[in-house]
Amino acid sequence: MDTLWLKPEEISVAARLLREGQLVAFPTETVYGLGANAWSEEAVAGIFLAKGRPQDNPLIVHIAGRAQVETLAADIPPEAEKLMERFWPGPLTLLFPKKAEVPELVCAGLETVAIRQPAHPLALELIRQAGVPLAAPSANLSGRPSPTCAEHVWEDLAGRIAAILDGGPVGVGVESTVVDLLGPEPMILRPGGITREELEEVLGRPVLLDPALLGAEERPRSPGMKYRHYAPAAPLEVLDGPERELIWQTILQEATPDTGLLLSEEGAAYLAGRCPGQFLVLAPLNQPEKAAQRLYSALRTMDKAGVKRILAEAWPRQGLGLALMNRMEKAAGGQCRRVEVQQYE
């Protein structure tokens, strides 16, 4: 299949393709999505095929306005109203009990449907012109880092989808926060663009993290979180520990010329001139939002540079740092490596 590369002014072509049941990648404020008409089981099946996505991983349905929620959700909890009011359009996905008409494939057989209203003007206009909600996962091949520009989508999906709507690089750089309000306590199933702190402020009560996110053996409530995800080709290790300098020292000891180094500005300054390896600087340590914006692109750059191994510095897990660390740990295949001075008695 020839994949069309569409400019923003060709948005009506993208909308028509979607109405015809085809797949179109489009920009959102978080990452590029791969959209299909959410009401069409056949169109949605195409998404799983194009991405090589496991069928037990449900999709997020993207809507253009609050009124569309009622067509998909059987019930809207009061706390969902509050969060929609404050954070939509934006990088927040909420779970609702699904209406029977929502195709099973969208929800991977679950009783809930995940919905979000993206903040990107092209995404909103595309959903409006298509006239239907769009089921859309990130527009990468399954297992690869999510795309933060149209070129990344092209690398992964050219020849497999009808079109890419190019809206330039995205803003947030990591995916939306997935929140479940249907249990006794609000719970984050996937950290993302809206922080835990922001959610707690609006809800006025603690928001839990799915225990599976904290490395527990448990089965994650968000099926997608169980896969090794966002992964570059070279094995990646994230170094964490109570002392920053010890992390940098460890990198200094272990790096070789074909090691990729994913660093903070502070780390790069410490290591410059005395550490081999290919440096990639994300941001200053107190700007996790900037690091998040660059992470996926950095992982793809590492692949192209052909590094044999990647060492990454851990970031404080506050604000967007929680989502950033979650994605880095996923890319590492699960966990961080702790570096600590052993305390002997």
Residues that bind ligand TXA in the complex, under the rule CB under 6 A:
28, 30-31, 33, 57-60, 91, 93, 95, 107, 110, 112-114, 118, 136-138, 175-176, 178, 189-190, 221-225
* β 208-209/187-190 pair status: parallel
Partner in contact with 136, chosen from Mg ion, ligand TXA, none, beta carbon below 5 to 8 Å by kind: ligand TXA
Which are the contacts of 269, defined by CB distance < 8 A and separation ≥ 6? none
| Cα within 13 Å of Cα(150), Cβ side | 16
Q: Which is nearer to ligand TXA, 18 or 311 (CB)?
A: 18
β-bridge partners, 33: 26, 138
Closest separation between CB of residue 113 and Mg ion, Å?
Answer: 17
Partner in contact with 322, chosen from Mg ion, ligand TXA, none, beta carbon below 5 to 8 Å by kind: none
Q: Which is nearer to Mg ion, 251 or 328 (CB)?
A: 328
Host H or E run for residue 178: strand 177-180
Give me 246's structure tokens.
């010890």
Q: Which is nearer to ligand TXA, 80 or 280 (CB)?
A: 80
β-bridge partners, 309: 259
Q: Which is nearer to ligand TXA, 56 or 85 (CB)?
A: 56
Closest separation between CB of residue 138 and Mg ion, Å?
Answer: 3
The dihedral over CA atoms of 85, 90, 92, 97, expressed in degrees to the nearest 10, equals 60
Q: DSSP labels for 212-247?
A: GGGT-SSPPSSGGGGS--S--SS-EEEEE-S-HHHH
Closest separation between CB of residue 342 and ligand TXA, Å?
Answer: 37
Closest separation between CB of residue 48 and ligand TXA, Å?
Answer: 10
Asked if residues 104 and 44 have their Cβ atoms less than 8 Å apart, the reply is: no
Q: Which is nearer to ligand TXA, 176 or 259 (CB)?
A: 176
Partner in contact with 93, chosen from Mg ion, ligand TXA, none, beta carbon below 5 to 8 Å by kind: ligand TXA
Closest separation between CB of residue 136 and Mg ion, Å?
Answer: 10
Q: Which is nearer to ligand TXA, 122 or 189 (CB)?
A: 189
Closest separation between CB of residue 189 and Mg ion, Å?
Answer: 13
Partner in contact with 11, chosen from ligand TXA, Mg ion, none, beta carbon below 5 to 8 Å by kind: none
Partner in contact with 178, chosen from Mg ion, ligand TXA, none, beta carbon below 5 to 8 Å by kind: ligand TXA
Partner in contact with 57, chosen from Mg ion, ligand TXA, none, beta carbon below 5 to 8 Å by kind: ligand TXA
Is the N-terminal amide bond of 89 cis, ω within 30° of 0? yes
Give me 207's structure tokens.
């928001």
Q: Give me the residues that bind Mg ion (CB under 5 A), please.
A: 138
Partner in contact with 110, chosen from ligand TXA, Mg ion, none, beta carbon below 5 to 8 Å by kind: ligand TXA
Q: Distance between CA atoms of 241 and 256, rounded to whole angstroms?
A: 22
Q: Which is nearer to Mg ion, 138 or 297 (CB)?
A: 138
Closest separation between CB of residue 137 and Mg ion, Å?
Answer: 5
Q: Which is nearer to ligand TXA, 175 or 198 (CB)?
A: 175
Asked if residues 191 and 322 have their Cβ atoms less than 8 Å apart, the reply is: yes
Q: Which is nearer to Mg ion, 264 or 293 (CB)?
A: 293
Closest separation between CB of residue 112 and ligand TXA, Å?
Answer: 4
Phi and psi at residue 295, in whole multiples of 5°? -55, -55
β-bridge partners, 98: 73
Partner in contact with 95, chosen from Mg ion, ligand TXA, none, beta carbon below 5 to 8 Å by kind: ligand TXA
Q: Distance between CA atoms of 6 and 219, rounded to whole angstroms?
A: 40
Closest separation between CB of residue 137 and ligand TXA, Å?
Answer: 3
Q: Which residues of 129-165 are buried (b: 16+ CB within 10 A; e: fewer)?
A: bbebbbbbbbbbebebbbbbbbebbbebbeebbbbbb
